[in-house]
Amino acid sequence: MAYLKTVFLSKSEEDLIHEKSIECLQDVGVRVDSESVLELLEKEGASVDYENHLAKIPEKMVNQALETAPKEFTLCGRDPKHDLEFPTKSYPYATTNGLAPFVNDYETGEYRLSTRKDLASFTRLGDAIDSVDFLWTSLTPTDVPPLAEGPHTLWTTMQNTTKHVQGVTVQSAEAARIQIELAALIAGGKEELKKRPIFSMVVCPIAPLSFEKRAIESQVEFARAGAPIVGLAMPSGGMSAPVTVAGMILTANAENLASLVITQAAAPGAPHIFRTESSPMNMADGSFNYDAPEFGLIFSGSGQMTRRYNLPSFNGDFCGIEVAGDQRETMFTHFITYCACSAHTDIVAGLGGMDNAKGVCFKQLLVDAYTWECCREYLKPVDITEEKLGLDALRDIGPRGTFLTHRHTRKYLRRELIRLDEDKREFLAMEKEKQNEKAGELVNKILEEHQVTPLDESIVRKGDGIIEAYEQKYAE
């Protein structure tokens, strides 16, 4: 099979990044603000300085983690028809934006703080759209106690989709155990959850090279429960990583390897996905620069390093054009998206995001999903075989002949060529004002008509009770 893939790094450059990542972990080490995780690493062979919370990880530990980490696994949906096999056999899977505190109200147009109701509706919209393969916990609802936000977002999302759910909030080991308990209610118990992980979890190192206590202790809990871990490295060049593209790739790669080592030390054989989202700092205001040209290049390089390790890769964002955005940005945004989505990745994220990922927009989710549905066709595998090369047909036709009525054309015309949905192409080609109006109509129609298979009422009551007890004990 032939695939459209960006090759950014040469073999010698891959080797150099890997070599220096190992050197970084052995000589510089990583800061781990958890005594229990430091003890875990020391037991596996790391050199630990407890006073300075530092663990130096030898190459042997990295190699062992790369060996025990599964190369193939499944992100399961509540409905098995939504199961996602890794690695992908074709274009990447796509998911939404995550953790946004703001929402663009699809009914009033107001840009405001989000609620659980918004999260439920946004999730249900994603559940209805075929090209949204799984759901991130997309919003940070502000109508719940902050220390209970993780359990609330997971529970609300799981009730409003039968697709796989990926959590994006880790607050403490106790909150992690609550989220595991909630998922186990739906899966049919903790052992069944291990067999069919219906949720996974994003856990971020803090660049450069450090792991915060509550987040990393949560990662250990999730790994032991069988929930696949996404180690999301987010070094920002010039602030938390060297300012060069090479330096940002190195920092992210070292952090990803360290995160993998911790997952495998906690639970050998636990599923783990490499994820990088790195860009230079915006020198004007210190923010993370999603518009930087380097954003796509780092995705491409990090994705290639993940493929070198033969591990599942989550190294791409879908940078859609905002519903009311400036068309002049199209070329630059689409090129960044191309670099990301052809970057040896199994997953891309960002559908429905706006405002540098701080907000989500219902209309934007629809526009992004339809755009992705068309764009992803270019990433499908192409079968290069003797039969499809068609030399025998060329022999039959000869010079200056026509293939219009040849059996080779009749055989492959409908099943070989890409056929884009004309209604969606027409929608995407509309002028912005008209597209915005049409998107609103479609969102309302979907939310009025689409029904998600509900959880059993007894399960909902148990889950609500678990969260209520947790809030009373810890969150309030």
Task: State the Cα angle at 471 between 465 and 476, rounded to 5°.
Answer: 155
Same domain, 297 and 408: no
Domain assignment present for residue 263? The answer is: yes
The CA R_g of the chain, rounded to the nearest whole Å, is 23
Domain assignment present for residue 154? The answer is: yes
Q: Is there a contact between 134 and 142 (Cβ–Cβ < 8 Å)?
A: no
| Burial class (CB within 10 angstroms; exposed 0-12, middle 13-18, buried 19+) of 81 | exposed
Same domain, 286 and 205: yes
377-404 average pLDDT score: 94
Number of domains in the chain: 3
77-106 average pLDDT score: 95
pLDDT for residue 166: 98
- Model pTM score: 0.95
Same domain, 178 and 307: yes
Same domain, 366 and 390: no
Q: Is there a contact between 96 and 349 (Cβ–Cβ < 8 Å)?
A: yes
Sign of CA dihedral 4, 415, 92, 322: positive
Same domain, 375 and 411: no
Q: What is the DSSP string of 362-413?
A: HHHHHHHHHHHHHHGGGGS-B---HHHHTHHHHHHH-TT---TT-HHHHHHH
Same domain, 26 and 104: no
Residue 238 neighbours by CB distance under 10 Å: 17
Domain assignment present for residue 73? The answer is: yes
Q: Is there a contact between 374 and 420 (Cβ–Cβ < 8 Å)?
A: yes
Q: What is the CATH number of the domain that holds 150?
A: 3.20.20.480
Backbone angles phi, psi at 229, to 5 degrees: -100, 135
From 24, 46, 65, give the residue that closes a domain.
65
Same domain, 410 and 327: no
Same domain, 410 and 373: no
Amino acid identity of residue 307, one-letter, is: R
From 30, 45, 65, give the residue that closes a domain.
65
**Cα(260)–Cα(415) distance, integer angstroms:** 41
pLDDT tens-digit readout, 126-174: 999 999 999 999 999 999 999 999 999 999 999 999 999 999 998 999 9
Same domain, 356 and 215: yes
328 pLDDT more than 50: no
pLDDT, greater one: 6 or 321:
6
Q: List residues bridging with 26 in a β-sheet.
A: none
Domain assignment present for residue 423? The answer is: no
1-26 average pLDDT score: 94
pLDDT for residue 331: 59
Domain assignment present for residue 6? The answer is: no
104-122 average pLDDT score: 96
Domain assignment present for residue 434? The answer is: no
215-233 average pLDDT score: 98
Q: What is the DSSP string of 58-82?
A: -HHHHHHHHHHS-S-EEE--SSGGG
Same domain, 134 and 42: no
229 pLDDT more than 80: yes
Same domain, 93 and 147: yes
> DSSP code of 446?
H
Domain assignment present for residue 447? The answer is: no
pLDDT tens-digit readout, 409-454: 999 998 888 888 899 999 988 998 999 999 999 999 999 999 999 9
What is the domain range of residue 50? 11-65
Same domain, 334 and 360: yes
| Burial class (CB within 10 angstroms; exposed 0-12, middle 13-18, buried 19+) of 324 | middle
340 pLDDT more than 80: no
Domain assignment present for residue 457? The answer is: no
Q: Work out the end-to-end distance of the chain between its first and last CA atoms, rounded to an integer number of angstroms.
A: 55
Q: Is there a contact between 267 and 224 (Cβ–Cβ < 8 Å)?
A: yes
pLDDT for residue 329: 54
pLDDT for residue 322: 67
